């Protein structure tokens, strides 16, 4: 019993360091993505819009951070040392998964609760003609919630005037948040498992393509918006099962 407690304390400290490294690297990658977006956009965008454009990259940042931290531990021999103490690969990979996936979950929560984050980036739709109207001496675009005065001054419409004209499907915000969280956790699990690179790549790219098609179809009202979460849900289920199986293999 004493021997177990001696092992547990250093292991918990190692867990915390692994999780913190993964979260820090994921946050750094997300910051780089935000800067790239800010440099390459058309300018004049608010912080919320620029941040919203970065949110779809959160699952990729989570996966890369998990892989980097887990690969570092393997290269340093830490995972092998833990196995000699009876700590299996599945258990040793959990901290990196938790740290990397935490960023995607945090972004998902921000999407769900913050109206400043424009989820229209997830549901791209072709603008409809005739959506700009001349009202009371100014041009009003209710879909974008903006008004342009005759002198060129730009103003945002009150939320009550812009509501119902966003063009987004019902439940767009929670659906986008759920898709980010599920895909972030799934990709982090795949990154820490012993999945072959080709299999992991096909699974990730296939899911990304299915989600892209789903978001576009939902924006065009071709499918119900909840259908968008089906691809990341399938990927998450597959990743959990695969992680549990590959985690029991010897190093």
Tens of pLDDT along 146-198? 776 766 666 665 544 444 445 678 888 899 999 999 999 999 998 888 766 67
pLDDT digits (tens, 9 = 90+) for 79-123: 888 888 878 888 888 999 999 999 999 999 999 998 888 888 888
Q: Where are the beta strands (DSSP E) in 102-234?
A: 132-135, 138-141, 146-149, 154-156
Sign of CA dihedral 185, 191, 192, 197: positive
Is residue 144 a contact partner of residue 125, using CB atoms and an 8 Å limit?
no
pLDDT digits (tens, 9 = 90+) for 207-247: 888 888 888 888 877 888 888 899 999 999 999 988 887 65
* Residue 138 buriedness (CB in 10 A; 0-12 / 13-18 / 19+): middle
Predicted pLDDT of residue 183 = 94
Q: Report the side by side order of strands in the sheet with 138-141.
A: 132-135, 138-141, 146-149, 154-156
Nearest to 23 by CA among 122, 107, 87, 119: 107
Q: What percent of the chain has pLDDT over 90?
A: 28
How far from chain centre, in Å, is Cα 139?
36
Question: Is pLDDT at 248 greater than 50 in this prediction?
Answer: yes
* Residue 116 buriedness (CB in 10 A; 0-12 / 13-18 / 19+): exposed
Q: Does the model's pTM come out above 0.85?
A: no
Task: Give CA–CA dist 144/32, Å, rounded.
Answer: 28
Band (pLDDT 50/70/90 cuts) for residue 45 is low
> Which residues make Cβ contacts (< 8 Å) with residue 223, sequence separation at least 6?
214, 217
């Amino acid at each position: 019993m004493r021997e177990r407690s001696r092992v547990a304390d250093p292991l918990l400290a190692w867990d915390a360091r692994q999780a913190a490294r993964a979260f820090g690297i994921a946050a750094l990658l997300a910051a780089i993505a935000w800067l790239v977006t800010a440099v390459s956009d058309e300018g004049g965008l608010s912080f919320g819009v620029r941040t919203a454009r970065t949110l779809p990259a959160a699952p990729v940042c989570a996966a890369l951070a998990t892989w980097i931290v887990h690969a570092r531990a393997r290269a340093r021999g830490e995972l092998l040392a833990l196995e000699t103490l009876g700590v299996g690969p599945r258990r040793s990979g959990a901290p990196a998964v938790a740290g990397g996936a935490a960023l995607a979950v945090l972004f998902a929560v921000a999407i769900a609760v913050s109206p400043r984050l424009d989820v229209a980036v997830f549901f791209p739709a072709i603008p409809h003609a005739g959506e700009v109207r001349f009202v009371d001496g100014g041009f009003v675009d209710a879909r974008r919630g903006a008004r342009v005065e005759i002198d060129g001054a730009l103003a945002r419409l009150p939320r009550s005037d812009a509501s119902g004209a966003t063009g987004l499907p019902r439940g767009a915000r929670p659906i986008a948040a759920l898709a980010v969280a599920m895909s972030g956790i799934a990709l982090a699990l795949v990154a820490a498992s012993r999945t072959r690179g080709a299999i992991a790549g096909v699974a990730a790219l296939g899911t990304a393509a299915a989600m892209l098609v789903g978001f576009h179809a939902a924006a065009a009202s071709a499918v119900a918006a909840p259908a968008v979460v089906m691809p990341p849900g399938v990927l998450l289920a597959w990743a959990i099962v695969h992680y549990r199986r590959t985690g029991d293999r010897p190093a």
